[in-house]
Structure formats: structure tokens, C-alpha cells
């Protein structure tokens, strides 16, 4: 039997996708303001509706930021498509304007990593919030767009890079109840804060989805085969006896290696929690995603 720390691991694979992301650094004068901006700008994942999703990669000390203040590295993702640049420009502007600019004392810097596919001008989708009263200025060794606002001013680096990454990596944790599921999920999410280049757009996700649906107009619907409350009520249930809760940890990363490492870390950490009975991953039969990440390979690679 395939296992990790004595917990069964299903011999299956996670199906992941190509995505486009931008990586930014947000700073603020105080920690509570920084957290409000970081979590506000990355909430409500909605790539399935042709929009975007985001997450906090890590919080960093003042020694690691251009302006010497507390910072948070965020990733904002859109699906790879023919019109991804238009979607990214719209979604980035929306999340920065409504999630960060409105939080007092915040600033935004570009922290692109690896191979950058291109850059866009943040004046187009953020700077113009100044209604043409904004101006360009060299600060902290960077070209910034300075936007006058009622509180004072908001500054964002003018050119923001974007790159191609891997989205939708995931781990499923089959648990004996809500408490063990929450503990295992929380442990996994905390551990991922130490894996560079990845985010968890949902943190602990309570509802996995499937390809087929009766109501395509509302988007993804519940993966009924893995709903514990339906065990014994439907003929195709895949929930083992004793399993009462299945949280999902969804992972996006700057490259395949970072997603693979993050998935392994989730398995390793969660398997130490009492009440985790089995570990698996979600896929769509290979119909949608470019990448297949086999759990067996992760254990062989990182153990």
C-alpha cells in the first residue's frame, strides 16, 4: 500500500492547469493595515467565471522591502487563454483598486520572479484612478505611479510583470470528522507559507467540484461522489467508511516544481494529524489540465 507516515495515499494523480500570474509586494505602515490589504485583494477566487483568483505567498520583514516597511507578497492569477492579457489587466486593476488602494498607507511593488512573459503599465488600470491628477516619479529606485487620494497618496510601481505558472494543484484529506479536517487543513496551509512561490487561493477548501453538472450556468457544482453525507444514499459514492469530512487544499505555483513540493508538504504535514485516514487528489480524468502530478511520484521524489 502506498502511504506516508502510516496514512494510506491513493495511487492517483492531481490534474493541474496552465495559468498566468502576476507577483506583487504590498507594504503598509502597520501590520493590521497590511493584513487587511493582503487578504482583501486576494479574496473570492473566481477564475471559473472568467475572472481571477489570488493568495498571499508570504509576509516579509521591513529589511526585505524597498521602502523599509512590513510587506506581503501576493499572487493574482487568471486562466491562460487567447485574451488573458485583457482579463489580467482588468482583474489586477480591480483587486488593487478595491482591495489595496483603499487601505490607508499601502504601496505596491513588482516582484516578478523567473522568466517574465511580459509587463503591463499599471497606470492604465490603477493610476488612472487618479483621474489624470496622478504623476510619475522615481522612488525607492523604481518608477512609480503616484495617485492622489483623500487620505494622502497611493504609490504603485509603473510596470508590473506577468508569467506563466501552474494552477490547480491539490490534495484531498479524508478525515474522520470536522475537527480533524480543520486541524489537518490548518497545518497544511501554515506549512505552505514556508514553500516559496506558491499560494493557496482557498486555504482550506470545503467543496471540490466536478466536470459534469446539471446547471452549467452557475458554474462548478458539488462533487457528489465525495460528499460524506451522501454515502449510502447514492450508488456511486467514493467515500470510505469512517470518513466524515474531506477538505481540499488547492495550490498555484510559479512553476511545476514549486507545486509538486507544496503538494508533498501538504501530505507530509497532514498525515501527522490524528483522524486523517487517507490522502488523495482531484482530477478530471485528464480531460482539462495539461499537467498530471502523480502522488506516488511525489513521495518517491521528496521522501
Whether residue 108 contacts residue 192, with contact meaning beta carbons closer than 8 Å, is answered with no
Q: Please identify which residue in the block is written with the cell numbers 484529506.
A: 173
Q: Do the two domains 3-15+167-302 and 19-163 of this chain adopt the same fold?
A: yes
Domain boundaries, the chain: 3-15+167-302, 19-163
> Which 3-state string (H, E, C) describes 56-73?
EEEEECHHHCCCCCEEEE
Whole-number pLDDT of residue 186: 98
Whole-number pLDDT of residue 49: 86
Supply the CATH classification number for the domain 3-15+167-302.
Answer: 3.30.70.520
Whole-angstrom CA distances from 286 to 13, 175, 283 are 9, 26, 7
* Residue 2 CB-half CA count within 13 A: 17
Q: How far apart are the first and last CA of the chain?
A: 16
Range 19-163 classified under CATH 3.30.70.520: yes
DSSP assignment, residue 44? S
Whether residue 42 contacts residue 103, with contact meaning beta carbons closer than 8 Å, is answered with no
* Tens-digit pLDDT string for the chain (303 aa): 899 999 999 999 999 999 999 999 999 999 999 999 999 999 988 888 889 999 999 999 999 999 999 999 999 999 999 999 999 999 999 999 999 999 999 999 999 987 899 999 999 999 999 999 999 999 999 999 999 999 999 999 999 999 999 999 999 999 999 999 999 999 999 999 999 999 999 999 999 988 888 998 888 899 999 999 999 999 999 999 999 999 999 999 999 999 999 999 999 999 999 999 999 999 988 888 899 999 999 999 998
Whole-number pLDDT of residue 220: 87
Residue 85 neighbours by CB distance under 10 Å:
15
Amino acid at each position: 500500500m502506498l502511504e506516508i507516515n502510516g496514512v494510506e495515499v491513493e495511487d492517483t494523480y492531481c490534474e493541474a492547469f496552465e495559468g498566468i500570474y502576476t507577483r506583487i509586494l504590498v507594504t503598509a505602515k502597520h501590520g493590521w493595515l497590511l493584513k487587511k490589504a493582503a487578504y482583501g485583494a486576494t479574496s473570492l477566487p473566481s477564475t471559473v467565471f472568467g475572472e481571477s483568483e489570488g493568495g498571499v505567498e508570504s509576509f516579509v520583514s521591513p529589511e526585505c522591502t524597498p521602502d523599509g516597511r512590513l510587506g506581503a507578497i501576493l499572487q493574482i492569477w487568471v486562466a491562460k487563454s487567447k485574451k488573458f492579457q485583457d482579463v489580467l489587466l482588468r482583474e489586477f486593476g480591480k483587486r488593487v483598486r478595491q482591495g489595496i488602494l483603499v487601505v490607508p498607507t499601502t504601496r505596491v511593488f513588482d516582484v516578478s520572479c523567473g522568466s517574465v512573459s511580459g509587463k503591463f503599465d499599471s497606470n492604465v488600470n490603477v493610476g488612472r484612478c487618479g483621474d489624470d491628477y496622478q504623476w510619475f516619479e522615481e522612488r525607492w529606485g523604481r518608477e512609480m505611479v503616484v495617485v492622489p487620494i483623500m487620505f494622502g497618496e497611493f504609490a504603485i510601481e509603473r510596470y508590473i510583470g506577468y508569467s506563466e505558472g501552474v494552477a490547480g494543484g491539490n490534495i484531498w484529506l479524508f478525515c474522520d470528522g470536522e475537527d480533524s479536517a480543520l486541524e489537518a487543513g490548518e497545518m497544511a496551509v501554515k506549512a505552505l507559507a514556508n514553500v516559496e512561490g506558491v499560494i493557496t487561493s482557498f486555504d482550506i477548501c470545503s467543496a471540490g467540484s466536478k466536470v459534469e453538472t446539471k446547471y452549467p450556468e452557475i458554474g462548478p457544482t458539488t462533487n457528489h461522489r465525495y460528499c460524506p453525507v451522501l454515502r449510502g444514499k447514492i450508488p456511486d459514492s467514493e467515500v470510505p467508511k469512517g470518513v466524515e469530512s474531506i477538505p481540499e487544499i488547492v495550490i498555484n505555483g510559479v512553476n511545476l516544481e514549486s507545486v509538486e513540493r507544496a503538494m508533498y508538504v501538504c501530505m507530509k504535514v497532514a498525515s501527522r494529524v490524528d483522524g486523517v485516514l487517507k490522502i488523495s487528489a482531484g482530477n478530471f480524468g485528464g480531460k482539462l489540465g495539461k499537467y498530471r502530478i502523480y502522488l506516488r511520484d511525489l513521495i518517491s521524489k521528496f521522501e
